[in-house]
Structure 1
Amino acid sequence: MTAASTAAEPATAPRAEKTWRRRGLLALAVLLPLTLAETSYDSVREWLRGEDLVTRDVAFGQSVPFGGSGWKLADLRGGKAGRLPEGAFAVIATFTVTIGDPDLQKQWLGCKLMLTDATGRRWLPDFISGVGLPDGVMNCASAIFSGAKPGDTVTVGDTFIVPQDAVKTIRPAVGLGSERPWYLRFERPPK
């Protein structure tokens, strides 16, 4: 090495280091969001598949295809019954379902009947001592394993406990694993 070549090396080394540092930061700015997106994609997808998030409103009396079958609200009734706390009402929601795809174990996996109100609250089925489903009405689990064939009509329903302040605005809803994040929310029967 000569004296001239050793003097030039220190000047180019910091410039090359700055260039690589900039490239590294640029790569980090591109790769970090991509890595976060890749690692969280499955979690977000599973969360969406497990939650009833997007409403499809259904008019009373209308039958809607959902989970390979046609769902229609049959009845919504309630009142004071059984051993309920003060200010609580028992509600029974029933649906008539015309079976399309007979593989209910696949189509209806995660079947969830619920009630919603105007403020967005939700109630899931509950056991009420002294209150049972009407004759011929099955809950989701029973319907899934009923052996229903295409064209059969089954009646699916459940019992709920709701507070008195929600009774006038409750609407029955149905969520199915094969349709999530969408769920059906039915209009109340006319009085």
Structure 2
Amino acid sequence: MSAVATDMGPAAERQVEKKWRRRSLAALVILLPLALAETSHDSLREWLGGEDLIARDVDFGQSAHFGGSDWKLADLRGGKAGRLPDQAFAVIATFSVTVGDPDLQKQWLGCRLMLTDAAGRRWLPDMISGVRLPDGVMNCTSAIFSGAKTGDVITIGDTFIVPEDAIKTIRPAIGLGSGRPWYLRFQRPPK
């Protein structure tokens, strides 16, 4: 008991104690969400910056500005090839890219080609025995370090293994570190 509270009676001491308990609980209700928001802010920002979450749809034959360059779906083809399991197909997606900002190491860091389907599934590039990219087609990493200059048109592509049930609805997509959480998702070529 403090020197100030020595002349209070037991009832007055209980009232003071109850008042401080209520104030402490009220402060906890206010400070706890603020503390959680502060500690999770960086994690949330990092998560949003590392995931391709929001699609920007692009019609076939159209180009879209993304990561300082103009991207256009050049080709999407597939079939049975190499040593693939039953019910699996090889798919090659290629993009024609007109370089705008030549600092590709900054603009395209975290470049990710992928395929998506109507069910929301995603496939990342995969090595397929017996399947090669067409001549002159680079993958993302090669393109980043190619020394491309403003105005250069480069072709970027990759190979994928996709289950047979997804073939009819797959759509090629591209995600870049400088554009995340957005990514480009292209319409399939007309048949």
TM tier relative to shorter chain:
over 0.9
Q: How does 1:70-85 map to 2 (within 5 A)?
A: 70-85=70-85
One-letter amino acid of the structure 2 residue matched with residue 142 of structure 1 = S
TM-score by length of 2: 0.95
Aligned residues: 187
One-letter amino acid of the structure 1 residue matched with residue 140 of structure 2 = C
Deviation at 1:130, TM superposition (A): 0.8
Q: How does 1:64-103 map to 2 (within 5 A)?
A: 64-103=64-103
Counterpart-to-counterpart distance in 2, 1:119 and 1:153 = 33
For structure 1, the residue ranges without an aligned partner over 5 or more in a row are 1-5
Structure 1 residue 117 and structure 2 residue 117: aligned? Answer: yes
One-letter amino acid of the structure 1 residue matched with residue 94 of structure 2 = T
Structure 1 residue 9 and structure 2 residue 9: aligned? Answer: yes
Counterpart-to-counterpart distance in 2, 1:90 and 1:119 = 19
Counterpart-to-counterpart distance in 2, 1:101 and 1:7 = 77
Identify the residue that residue 139 of structure 2 maps to in structure 1. 139
Identify the residue that residue 22 of structure 1 maps to in structure 2. 22
Deviation at 1:11, TM superposition (A): 2.7
Q: Could you say what secondary structure the match of 2:135 adopts?
A: coil
Deviation at 1:9, TM superposition (A): 2.7
RMSD: 1.3
For structure 2, the residue ranges without an aligned partner over 5 or more in a row are 1-5
Deviation at 1:12, TM superposition (A): 1.8
Deviation at 1:83, TM superposition (A): 1.1
The Cα offsets for residues 65-103 of structure 1, whole Å up to 9 and x where unpaired, read as 000000000000011111111111110000000001111
Counterpart-to-counterpart distance in 2, 1:7 and 1:70 = 80
Counterpart-to-counterpart distance in 2, 1:14 and 1:110 = 61
One-letter amino acid of the structure 1 residue matched with residue 28 of structure 2 = L
The Cα offsets for residues 108-162 of structure 1, whole Å up to 9 and x where unpaired, read as 0000000011111110000011110001000000000000001111000000010
Q: Could you say what secondary structure the match of 2:142 adopts?
A: helix
Counterpart-to-counterpart distance in 2, 1:8 and 1:140 = 77
Q: Could you say what secondary structure the match of 1:128 adopts?
A: coil
Runs (4+) of structure 1 moved beyond 3 Å?
none
Deviation at 1:10, TM superposition (A): 2.2
TM-score by length of 1: 0.95
Identify the residue that residue 33 of structure 1 maps to in structure 2. 33
Identity, in percent, stands at: 78
Structure 1 residue 130 and structure 2 residue 119: aligned? Answer: no
Identify the residue that residue 44 of structure 2 maps to in structure 1. 44
